[in-house]
A and B are shown apart, each in its own frame.
Chain A
Amino acid sequence: MTYAQPIKTAFVETLITLGDDHLILGHRLSEWCGHAPMLEEDLSLPNMALDLLGQANNLYSYAAELEGEGRSEDDIAFLRNARQYRNLLLVERPNGDFAHTVLRQLYFAAAMQPFWQATLNCSDERLNGFAGKAVKELATHIRHCGEWVIRLGDGTDESAQRMRKAVEELHIYTDELFQPNAAMRICVEAGLIADPAAQRDIWNTTIATIFKDAFLQVPEIAFPQQGGREGLHTEALGHLLSELQYMQRTYPGMTW
């Protein structure tokens, strides 16, 4: 497909925005590898990370091709400054304990799964291909992490307390899941992606259903946090990037 301006620029930006969500969350999940609470999770957390990194790779590759300025997917992934990343604040938040990690994953997957499902009706074939894969992958993330949220919420006193703390700390970042940036809004108008804002009801239902079984309350949020979509991040992102980008920054221009 070829696109005329200003759609083209908006679409490239949107693909990068979505790629950033997947890359940064995949990075966070990959930090667990070898350190999980049980061996089964040493396999499951990397599985989910690999799904996300695979999607990031697809989205960046497509963005690089559409853009046609000679950047590669790795240039996009590794060679931007923190202000240029467009990921949600939610996905850059540190792993915290296992309760935080599964909750963050559930929040993300429960918004993105219906988003990709609705994007299947949009017009870009290549993106539809990614969406088809993501819908299936994220459904397993929702199931896996939802089950953990229930187990921990309805487990021991300690696990229930940790689960409540995770909700208290992460829920304030969920509003941003439904706030497309300007580039995304152009793509929604052009019928290239589904409207993230339209997924809120499905997300509310998924979360409410799981929270009921987990004996958790959906909190009232006085001051929802956002900014990632405009490149305004928490301090956590810079440190994440200094690790992510270490090789590319230390040894510029080499082949690995």
Chain B
Amino acid sequence: MYSQGLIGSGSENEESEAFLARFQARIDAEEKIEPNDAMPLAYRKTLIRQIGQHAHSEIVGMLPEGNWITRAPTLRRKMALLAKVQDEGGHGLYLYSAAETLGVSREEMTEELLSGRAKYSSIFNYPTPTWADIGMIGWLVDGAAIMNQVPLCRCSFGPYARAMVRVCREESFHQRQGYEIVMTLAEGTDEQKEMAQDSLNRWWWPALMMFGPHDADSSNSDQSMLWKIKRFTNDELRQKFVDATVPQAEKIGLKIPDPDLKWNPEKNDGAGGYDFGALDWDEFWRVVKGGGPMNRDRIAARKAAWENGRWVREAALAHAAKREERAATAKVAAE
């Protein structure tokens, strides 16, 4: 079977079966695919979409936590939060750079985000009305991100895998810091405990939804597994997350808001694991499609930053051009 298509910078320009088989053999041998290697167009497109979405999630993810930087309760918490949100910006930067190696510019990706064509993680469409949400995001959202991202450190695409190694180190620091905020609340006054429990009630289910639809309903999953972009299915990762997180909640006396949550010794091939209740997939799809509580505000904030910054970016380019011109003129004059 032939599928016509551009293979980017590779020398081959059509995807013969022999080419696809050679490519799959490299993947199966756990070789890393590098930007200048020939690759099937669909592989390139999948990665551009996934890395782009991941980068956008880091950038949009700065907003819900950024909401508390100016109101953080102590100097130490303020500095830690500011540094954390800055780290997320750094993650966005490495990821945009990794995507750029596939032939798409940061500007193009940004336009896609602002126009709504590109997605970002739905979790960031929920609001952060209380300080406890800052702890909860670190604990649960960065915690879920780690579950997703640790296997990505072995992703077949080299630049993505390498970016993830660096990102994961910082995410696990964020997760511990978030848990520590929640623990402090859980050990605090009744009002603080209540703030923590209320926040857990709001974030628990959206955090589980971060792993995406059930395997049976996930359209891109099989091919991504074959290409070793993904190493575990959505449901496998969700289960790992629940199993890791429930004991952490118990340890600090918070209650997971799921009446169906129950230890099941048979689960995970007899190693044991938690059964948990059904997710509200209507809510999931509503938020993905733009109907969550903060979708409009998040995009509006990104648009405002992009549009209000346009004159600055234009000035930087204009200045660089002027300098170059002056250097050229000075050189001619000297000759």
Known contacts A39-B93, A50-B83; decide if A74 and B308 are in contact (CB<8 Å).
no
Chain A interface: which of B58-66, B171-179, B198-206, B234-242? B58-66
B79 A159 Cβ-Cβ under 8 A: no
Looking at the assembled complex, report how far the CB atom of B193 sits from the nearest CB atom of chain A, in whole angstroms: 11
Q: 1/0 contact trace for A38-52 toward B, CB 8 Å?
A: 111111001101100
Known contacts A53-B82, A156-B318, A254-B192; decide if A33 and B75 are in contact (CB<8 Å).
no
Interface of A is mostly: helix
Q: 1/0 contact trace for B72-111 toward A, CB 8 Å?
A: 1111111100110110011011001000000000100000
Q: How many A residues touch B, CB cutoff 8 Å?
A: 48
B129 part of interface (Cβ distance < 8 Å): no
Known contacts A37-B312, A38-B309; decide if A49 and B71 are in contact (CB<8 Å).
no
A9 part of interface (Cβ distance < 8 Å): no
CA distance A148 to B183 in the complex (A): 42
Within 8 A of B (CB), among A128-166: 150-152, 154-156, 158-159, 162
A39 B79 Cβ-Cβ under 8 A: no
Q: Which of A46, A53, A243 contacts B75 (CB 8 A)?
A: A53
B131 part of interface (Cβ distance < 8 Å): yes
Q: Which of B71, B305, B322 contacts A154 (CB 8 A)?
A: B322
A31 part of interface (Cβ distance < 8 Å): yes
Q: 1/0 contact trace for B19-57 toward A, CB 8 Å?
A: 000000000000000000000000000000000000000
A256 B184 Cβ-Cβ under 8 A: yes
Nearest residue, chain B, Cβ from A58: B75
Nearest residue, chain A, Cβ from B65: A34
B191 A33 Cβ-Cβ under 8 A: no
Nearest residue, chain B, Cβ from A243: B70
Chain B interface: which of A167-175, A224-232, A245-253? A245-253
Residues of A that sit less than 8 Å from B by CB: 23, 27, 30-31, 33-43, 46-47, 49-50, 53-54, 56-57, 60, 73-74, 77-78, 97-98, 150-152, 154-156, 158-159, 162, 243-244, 246-248, 251, 254-256
Given contacts A49-B82, A156-B314, 11 further A-B contacts (CB under 8 A): A33-B86, A35-B304, A46-B82, A46-B86, A97-B308, A154-B319, A246-B71, A247-B72, A247-B131, A256-B77, A256-B181
- Ordered by A's residue number, 27 sampled pairs between the chains whose C-beta atoms are within 8 Å are A30-B69, A33-B86, A33-B89, A34-B85, A34-B89, A35-B66, A35-B308, A38-B312, A38-B313, A39-B59, A39-B93, A43-B89, A49-B82, A50-B86, A56-B75, A57-B75, A74-B75, A151-B316, A152-B315, A155-B318, A155-B319, A156-B318, A158-B315, A247-B71, A251-B189, A256-B73, A256-B184
